[in-house]
Amino acid sequence: MAIDEADFTQVFRGYDKEEVDRAIQGLRRDLIQANSQGTEANKEIKRLTAHIDDLNAEIEEVGSPTFSGLGTKLENTLRVAEEQSTRVIAQADIDAERLRASAASEVDTLRREATERADRALSDATVKASRLLDDARAEADDLLARAHDDYTTVTGDAVQEAAAIRGAVATEAAEPPGDRQARGRRHPLRSRA
């Protein structure tokens, strides 16, 4: 934006300060951009001039081929080939380093994930084993309590039966022999057998 084109709003004592500031900032941006473009254009001109000089030298050598001209041309070709190979090798090194870093990062990620999964699996297995052990202990305690109750019941029944048998034997032993024969078929021991 040129100053001649700027139409500033007139205010009481001159122009609007904010409009003028904005216009100046725009001009500064345009100037910086123009300087940057000029610098780039100068670089391009220098590069093209050097390229033109190289082409003119090649034209002169082609026009009058000599061994010295061929040597220069071969030298330039070899120099360009060497520069290109150096660039290719450097790019290959950069690519290889990126690939190594990427692979190392991926390995670290996979290792971390595997460790986390293993830790979770171990934790889950420990909890499950603990539950199974608690359940097994509870079942064993229950079986032991029932076995003890059965033992107590069987023992009590056996003691009562033994007491009944002893009482019957004692009663039979205390009776006179004639009463025993009359009751022979009702003998408590014989009736159980």
Is pLDDT larger for residue 69 or for residue 95?
A: 95
Give the pairing of strands 10-11 and 14-15.
Answer: antiparallel
pLDDT for the residue 152 = 92
Write down the mean pLDDT value for the chain. Answer: 83
pLDDT for the residue 183 = 57
pLDDT for the residue 11 = 66
The CA–CA distances, whole Å, from 62 to 65, 66, 69 equal: 5, 9, 8
* Residue 24: strand pairing partners: none
What is the identity of the amino acid at 13?
R
Query: 121-169: per-residue pLDDT in tens?
Result: 999 999 999 999 999 999 999 999 999 999 999 999 999 999 889 888 8
Domain boundaries, the chain: 1-64
Cα(76)–Cα(82) distance, rounded to whole angstroms? 10
As a three-state string, the secondary structure of the chain is CCHHHCCCCEECCEECHHHHHHHHHHHHHHHHHHHHHHHHHHHHHHHHHHHHHHHHHHHHHHHCCCHHHHHHHHHHHHHHHHHHHHHHHHHHHHHHHHHHHHHHHHHHHHHHHHHHHHHHHHHHHHHHHHHHHHHHHHHHHHHHHHHHHHHHHHHHHHHHHHHHHHHHHHHHHHCCHHHHHHCHHHCHHHHHC
